[in-house]
Structure 1
Amino acid sequence: MKFIGFWEYDAEDVMKVIEKFGQMTAEREKGVERFARTIFGPFHISGEHRGFTVFETDDPDKLANISIFYTPEMRWSFLLINDSSKLTELYLKMKK
């Protein structure tokens, strides 16, 4: 399953966020699998202290682990996203 994770942080926490991002990157490079896999991003919204990342996982706990890892400096919300062509196909099958 794919999820879009929206995140934000306060300007005064930018150095802490950068440090934690480095720690998570190092964890991922070691092959640690407790976090959802990043498939797109992260991306900042220009001029803001917020942005988004797209993840892939079948285990929602791996999303919770990301949120917990960055707490309290970052706030996260995750939304399940679906392939529109697959949803259209399912919808049409259900309507028959």
Structure 2
Amino acid sequence: MQTIQFVGVTPEQLQNQIAETVKNQLGEFLEHYKPKQPNDYLSRKQVSELLDVDLSTVANWQKSGKLKPLGIGGRVYFLRSDIEKSLISING
């Protein structure tokens, strides 16, 4: 077992230094931390309900490239994040 001695440092100074270091490290971590959002896949019907449009409108947006479809086994899905990105601001 290794022994470490702090000479000329009070317990309060050591505690304050440790707390300050942890606070700085946590601040840096939180500054750069971006949690990964889980992928939320929506069916054509869910997209039409979300945007309050007809299924044919969703199909037209898909054909025109406004919405990017993903598919598996004949089923078509859209990423919620892609749907939100495709919305444009009206006020500029």
| Bin of the TM-score, shorter chain as denominator length | under 0.3
CA radius of gyration, larger in: 2
Greater relative contact order: 1 or 2 (C-alpha under 8 angstroms, separation 6 or more)?
A: 1
Going by fraction, where is strand more abundant, 1 or 2?
1
TM-score by length of structure 1 reads 0.25
TM-score of the pair, normalised by structure 2: 0.26
